[in-house]
Amino acid sequence: MTKSITYVGFDVHKNSIDVALADAGRESEIRYYGTINGDLASLDKVIRKLVSRGTRPSFVYEAGPCGYEIYRHLTQQGYDCKVVAPSLIPRKSGDRIKNDRRDAEMLARLHRAGELTPVYVPCLEDEAMRDLCRARIDSKSAERKARQQLGAFLLRSGFRYSGKTPWSKAHWNWISCIKMPHPAQQITLQEYIDAVRSCTERVERMTEQIRQLAEQWRMNPVVEAIQALRGVSLIVATTTVAELGDLTRFDHPRQLMAYLGLVPSEHSSGETVKRGGITKTGNGHARRMLVEAAWSYRLPARVSRRLLERQRHLPQAVWEIAWKAQLRLCSRYRLLTAKGKRSQVVIAAIARELSAFIWAIAQTVPRPA
C-alpha cells in the first residue's frame, strides 16, 4: 500500500526551526507543528513522529546561511528533500505580514502545489573546493582594500609615485625608501605595508593550495579542458566549475547563460519590446570570473605560448572548440565596439557567449562519478 505524502516546510534559523505540515490534497488545511531547536537531534524527533503516523514526509526549506546540512542529513536517510532559492519563491504582492510561522506554512503549501523550484546542491567535495575558491576571492578583496589604504595614506602625506606600474618591484623599492617626518607616521606606514604583504602572501598560499587540490578533484578533467579557452586560467576555471558543478545538468547553453544572469532583462508588453541590462541573477562569483576572462578577447585572436602549454595534453576536439571561440569572440568584440556599444555592454555579451563555449567543452569530457 502506498503511503500518503505529508509535505513539510522548514523555516530554518541558527538556533531554531519552524515546522509546518500539509497533507496531500488541496482541501486539507496547513497545520503549524511548532518551533524546535536547530540541531539535528531535534529534527530527528520530528521525523520519527511523522513516520509513526504512517505517512511519507517530503521536506523543503529555503537556502540560507545554514548551508546544506539538513538536506544531506535527510537525503542520507532516504527522505525526499528540496532546497529552494528565496528569490524563486512566489509571494503575494499584497502580503505585508511576515514571520517564521507564516514562512513555514507558505513553504509547505507551495511544496504541495508543486510551485517551488529546487536549487542545485553540490556534493561535499565540490562545496569544499568552492569554499576554498571563495576564500581566495575574499583574500583578493582584502588585498585590494589594503593597497587602497596604503596608497591613500601616501597621497595625503604628500608622496606621489611617478612610475607607470603600481605594486611592482620598482614601486615597492620606492615605498621602502620613504621616510616620514614624524615617528607616528613611520609606524603607520610600516603597519600598512605589513598588511598589504600579509594579504598578498595569503592569496599566494591559497592559489597554491587550489593548484594542488584541483589535481585530486573529481572535476579536474573539466577544469583542465576549459583552460584551453583564452582567458580561462587555473583560478578562473576552478572557480567557475566549483560554482557551477556538473555542467551537463544544463540541457542547453541558454540555460547556463540564464543561470549566470548574463541574459538581458526584458519588460515587454503587446507590440512594445523593451530590453535592459543583464539580469545578474544566479551565481555572481562565476559571472564575475567569466566577465574577467572576457576582457582577453579584446585583443586579436592568437594562441600564445602559455595557452599552447595548457592545450598540449587535451583532445583535438577541445582545441577546435577553443580556437572557434577565439575567432568568434574576438570578431564579436570588434563588431560590437565598431557599432558604438559601451565596453561594459560588449564584455557582458562576450562573457555570455564564452559560457556557451565552456558548456560545449564540458560536454566532451566524460561525466565525473
Instruction: Let me know the angle formed at the C-alpha of 18 by 15 and 24, rounded to the nearest 5 degrees.
Output: 150
Q: Helix (H, G, I), strand (E, B), or coil: what is residue 122?
A: coil
Q: Which amino acid is at 163?
A: G
CA distance 117 to 106: 14
| DSSP per position, 239-301 | HHHHHH--GGG-SSHHHHHHHTT-SEEE--BTTB--EEEE---S-HHHHHHHHHHHGGGGSPP
> Tens digit of pLDDT per residue, the chain (369 long)?
457 899 999 999 999 999 999 998 767 789 999 999 999 999 999 999 999 988 899 999 999 999 999 999 999 999 999 999 988 888 887 888 889 999 999 999 999 999 998 999 999 999 999 999 999 999 999 999 999 999 999 999 999 999 999 999 999 999 999 999 999 999 999 999 999 999 999 999 999 999 999 999 999 999 999 999 999 999 999 999 999 999 999 999 999 999 999 998 888 888 788 888 888 888 899 999 999 999 999 999 999 999 999 999 999 999 999 999 999 999 999 999 999 999 999 999 999 999 999 999 999 998 766
